[in-house]
Amino acid sequence: MTVTLDSAITLPCGATLSNRLAKGAMTEGMATPDGVPTKELERLYGIWSDGGAGMLLSGNIQIDRDHLERPGNVVIDRPADEEMKAALKSWAEVATRNGNHFWAQISHAGRQTQANVNKNPKAPSVVKLGLPGGQFGEPVALTEAEIEELVDRFALAAATCQAAGFTGVQIHSAHGYLLSSFLSPRANQRTDKYGGSLENRARFLLAVIAKTRAAVGPDFPISVKLNSADFQKGGFAFEDSLQVVQWLEAASVDLIEISGGTYEQPALMGAEGMEEKEEQNVAPSTQAREAYFVDFAKAMQESVKVPLMVTGGFRTRAAMEQALADGAADVIGLGRPMCVMTDAPNQLLAGRDELPRYENQLQLIPDWLGFLKRFQMVKAIDGFANIYWFYEQLHNLGHRGHTDPGLSVFKGLRAVEARNKEILAARS
């Protein structure tokens, strides 16, 4: 049977997504300083629900308020009080108003918590993030007892979201955050049962899946976001990822989103890192130049049957349909295009051939200073800065109901940084 963008897919748990398009997880920064969802988040997700995707993924919902991915994250790190229960329920109702799924992405930022949130974040080992500027502090290694407590927190957050009306969860084990860093031999230098062999490094993640499944039951979708590779020398490699995917399938995971990179090597963002990229043993293809992780997913499909989702770089309907036809992806994730074209799924389903590539007009360093981009650090800063432009579009959607495509990268950067400071000041 030919699989197209409008084909439904039934997951191993029995839940059905109405089409093959999903809104990928993107950090919103719109919760209260105490981590409670707001009406602005509701407005944003209501707009996306009307946009036609079969499934929406939330941005990071943190299980520890001292380890935020950014100020303004939603936080579920304790049993929900009545205010949190009501806010989560209202958010879920609006985000599913078009009959689509809405899944909570549950995460712990680990050593990628910025120093203005936590100067000594918890991590697998005392291995500091290799980025300049003092934005990230010296990490502290988790004890075994603390790891077990965090396993319980992941399960608590999942059960809390299920009770509020979310229709699934995604455990974030990619991009260098805590679970991802445990998988990396570069970040994880432990000598106990959570370090050393890949089996030990994956123990934390698999414990989270087991506890979460026990908490939500067999019929509730559990997804995992996993790096195909870290693309760093001595990091989590594709061969490791392939084995972990097989373990996740055996552990009753319903959908695995294939991604890649870390803050040090931000392949996930299409940005330059501070070091030379470590290539992996997967053949390049024309298609992979548009969709960053398609080749990795296609190689994985030869070993597992669990549905795979690929997010990152898709802009043409032809490439999306080719990925589905080749069996390289079962679900196509859309991120940045939906920051401006919020009904991109509907437009694709109606026959639109290509989505706008806003990145082409975004640069912090102007063309006349282009020679500076020969320096790796400058290229990295320029790449990260345009991400803030997309953050600001989400803010505009949540607060005003519309975007500002004419916004400059510099203005977007300044606006996001100012709000981050306000939220942090209110927290303290």
User: Largest Cα–Cα distance of the chain, in whole Å?
Assistant: 58
pLDDT over 70 percentage in the chain: 86
**Out of 49-58, 292-301, 376-385, which region has the weakest mean confidence (pLDDT)?**
376-385
Using pLDDT thresholds of 50, 70 and 90, give the confidence band for residue 267: low
> What burial class does residue 59 get, using C-beta atoms within 10 Å of its C-beta: 0-12 exposed, 13-18 middle, 19+ buried?
buried
The answer to whether the beta carbons of residues 385 and 409 sit under 8 Å apart is yes
Please say if the pLDDT value at position 289 is more than 60. no
Model's pTM, two decimal places? 0.91
* 58-77: pLDDT as tens digits: 999 999 999 999 999 999 99
Average pLDDT over residues 230-255: 89
DSSP state of 63: S
Using pLDDT thresholds of 50, 70 and 90, give the confidence band for residue 381: low
* 127-166: pLDDT as tens digits: 998 776 678 899 999 999 999 999 999 999 999 999 999 9
The answer to whether the beta carbons of residues 277 and 264 sit under 8 Å apart is no
Q: Please state, in angstroms and rounded to a whole number, the distance separating the CA atoms of residues 198 and 419.
A: 40
Which residue from 261, 230, 269 is spatially nearest to 391, judged by alpha carbons?
A: 269
The CATH number of the domain covering residues in 16-361: 3.20.20.70
Residues 6+ apart with CB under 8 A from 123: 110, 111, 139, 140, 141, 142, 178, 181, 187
For residue 353, the SS3 value is coil
| Residue 182 CB coordination number (10 Å) | 26
pLDDT at 106: 98
Angle at 117 between CA 111 and CA 120, to 5 degrees: 45
The answer to whether the beta carbons of residues 202 and 183 sit under 8 Å apart is yes
Please say if the pLDDT value at position 378 is more than 60. no
Please say if the pLDDT value at position 28 is more than 50. yes
Q: Please state, in angstroms and rounded to a whole number, the distance separating the CA atoms of residues 49 and 143.
A: 41
Please say if the pLDDT value at position 241 is more than 50. yes
| Residue 154 CB coordination number (10 Å) | 27
The answer to whether the beta carbons of residues 71 and 117 sit under 8 Å apart is yes
pLDDT at 238: 87
